[in-house]
Structure formats: structure tokens, C-alpha cells
A and B are shown apart, each in its own frame.
Chain A
Amino acid sequence: MSDHNPNAPSHLKHYFHDVNQQYETSKFAMWAFILTEVLTFAGLFVAYIVYRSWYPDMFVDAHKLLDVNKGLTNTVVLITSSLTMALAIWAIQKNNKKLSVLMLVATFVFALAFLGIKYLEYSHKFEVGQLPGLYYSYMGPDAAHLNNPHIFFSIYFIMTGLHGLHVAIGMGLIAWLIYSTQKGNLTSEYYTPMEMIGIFWHLVDLIWIYLFPLFYLIG
């Protein structure tokens, strides 16, 4: 029985036969988890699609109140962070601990930048009153004629907010990876957590790839 096998690596759990079975199972389960994340955002995308079909002109006009430059910058930031995340895994596969940690730190910094830009966007909206639901109060010359713009901003805040929450969670996970890799717990022999968190991070990028055109580039 493998729980008595002195040659088994310490990270091999006793209910798995070998490290490969454990690794493949973890990856597979991660993809099942990705399915649940897609379905979570799916609900919000459905709300977006339905309301855009009911208020097409309002969506077009309301979206002009968003800052395309910040959106594009965030897109670039996130794509780059995806690259550095992938490179962190590439580095650990080559057993290059230093490079891997460097790439993880870069990913963390980019994530922080993303949230920073979002903070700038959100705080501007708070200032002018472009808020969800009943808190909406912006009636500037470019918005006074709109029908129920609070719905656009509700959906905007919920979707980018949930996405931002995932960025923040990802940052926490990446921070743990930095610690774990630096300590030597993750090596080319065993880097499954890094790969799984990497998949999560790429999903965060994936969702933004759709959010960006849908909110910032309508029409």
C-alpha cells in the first residue's frame, strides 16, 4: 500500500497510486471548477444580453460615459499578466526558482495595477453619481435623456465588480504561490498548485476579454 511506501514523494497522497494520477486528477477537477465559474458569469452575461436587447440605445449612449483608455490599458495589463503567469510555470518546469518567483511577482504587480485602474474608474463614477440602482444620480447633458441608465450601471458594476473580486482572490493565491515557491515547496517535480492557480488566472483574463468590448466598445 502506498501509505507505507518510503519511496513515495511527500506530496503524494495515500489514496492516489502515483504522482501522475494525482496531477491529472487535480487538473481535471480544476477544469470542472472553471465550468462552475463560467456558469456563474453566464447568469450575468444573460442579464446583460437581455437588457441590451430591451434598451439598445440606452446601452450605446450610456457606455460612452466609460473611459475606453482605462479599459484598454486594463486589457493590456491583464494580457501581460497572463503571459507572466504562464512564464512563471514555464520557469518552474525548468526548475528555475528565481525566474518563477520573479514572474509571479510581476503577475501580482500587474493584477494590482488592474485593480488600481479600476479603483480610479469606480471612484470617478462615485463622484459623479453614475451608480447602480437607486443610487444613480448623474443627469449630465450626455445622460439626462437616457431611459433607466441605472440598469446599465448596475450590470456594469456587478460584472466588473465580480470580475474584480476574482482578480483580488487571484492576487491572494499568487501571493501564496510566491511564498511557497520561494520556500522551495514547489519545484519541477511538483508544481501542481501553480498550474491550477494559473488556469484560474487565465480564466480571469478570459472573462475580461469579453467584458471589455461589451462595456467599453459598444456600437
Chain B
Amino acid sequence: MSEHHITPLRTYLIIASLLLFLSAVTVWVSYVDLGPLNIVVAMLVATVKASLVAFFFMHLLWDDKKNLTMFLMSLMFFGIFVTITLLDTEFRGDLGLNPEVKNPINNRASFYDTLPLTDTHGHPVDEHSDDHHEDKEHH
């Protein structure tokens, strides 16, 4: 077993610091509104963190390449699952261009009508309120 690659202590500590730093970045960036780019940036940062964990902590950088291949294949199949499913859900109705047809889902399940309004602790509020916000603009 002596021919196994032993990662230096320094490497582990640097990577861990990077991970903690990037976690802070993740939170900080979430306060900046980039519109549709929000999710992209968040996932990019998460992917950088994940790569650090995979390559260094999980040793993929130095391992037999088959192990990395196995891991990448799992991500590829996840990608296939998501992409092709979205080809359905995003393009329902008139190729997804008609929002009403695209989301023909019951926007508000009927049991909500039986729920009393509550305060922030979850306790029902005494007075009845009639202004339910129905049909909020949905996408």
C-alpha cells in the first residue's frame, strides 16, 4: 500500500479554506440581483466547490481515470434526464409560447381554501380575511 499517493497536509488545508471562502462568496453573491444570471452564477460557484471536493478530497485528480469517468458518466445521465424532461415541460401547449396552456396545473390546491390565515408562528388569526390573492401572475 506504500505506493498509494498521499495528499500533502497543506493541500487539504488550502482546499478546505477555498471551500469555506467560496461558501461565503455564494451567500454574498445571492444578495446581488443579476436577474436570470442568478441561478447560473450560484450553480457555477457550487460546481467549483464540488470539483474541489471531488478532485482533491475524493482523490480523483490522482486516481485511475476510470473512477473519474464513472463520476462524469453519472453527471451526464443526470443531464440527459433533466434536459429531455424539460423538453416536455417547457414546451407544452403551443411549443411553450402560450403561458396559460403551458402550465395547465391547478395553481392553488383546493385545501388552501379551508386553511385559516395564521401569524408568523403558525397560529390561526381570529379575523377572517377575504382578500385572498388569487391568480397571481404565474409563469
Contact = CB atoms under 8 A, between A and B. Distances in A.
Interface of A: 19-20, 23-24, 27-28, 31-32, 34-35, 38-39, 42-43, 45-46, 49-50, 53-58, 68, 72, 75-76, 79-80, 82-83, 85-87, 90, 93-94, 127-130, 134, 136-142, 144-145, 147-148, 150, 188-191, 198-199, 202-203, 205-206, 209-210, 212-214, 217-219
B50 A206 contact: yes
Contacts of A43: 81
Nearest to A55: B138
Contacts of B89: 50, 53-54
B58 A148 contact: no
Interface string B40-71: 00110110011001100111000110110011
Nearest to B13: A83
B130 to A, nearest CB: 12
A42 B78 CA distance: 6
A38 B78 contact: yes
B12 A90 contact: yes
24 contacts: A27-B63, A34-B70, A42-B77, A46-B81, A54-B103, A54-B139, A56-B139, A79-B16, A83-B57, A93-B6, A127-B122, A128-B122, A136-B115, A137-B118, A138-B122, A139-B112, A140-B120, A141-B117, A145-B132, A189-B1, A206-B50, A209-B49, A210-B46, A214-B42
Contacts of B63: 27
Interface residues of B, number: 69
B30 A49 contact: no
Interface in B100-119: 103, 105-109, 111-112, 115-119
Contacts, number: 188
Given A27-B63, A38-B74, A147 B9 contact: no
B98 interface: no
A68 B27 contact: yes
B118 A138 contact: yes
Contacts of A32: 70
B95 interface: no
B127 to A, nearest CB: 13
Given A83-B13, A142-B120, A209-B53, 15 more contacts: A20-B1, A20-B3, A24-B64, A35-B70, A45-B78, A54-B105, A58-B138, A79-B20, A82-B19, A140-B117, A147-B107, A148-B112, A188-B2, A203-B58, A218-B39
Q: Which 3 A-B pairs have the closest CB atoms?
A: A128-B122, A145-B133, A38-B74
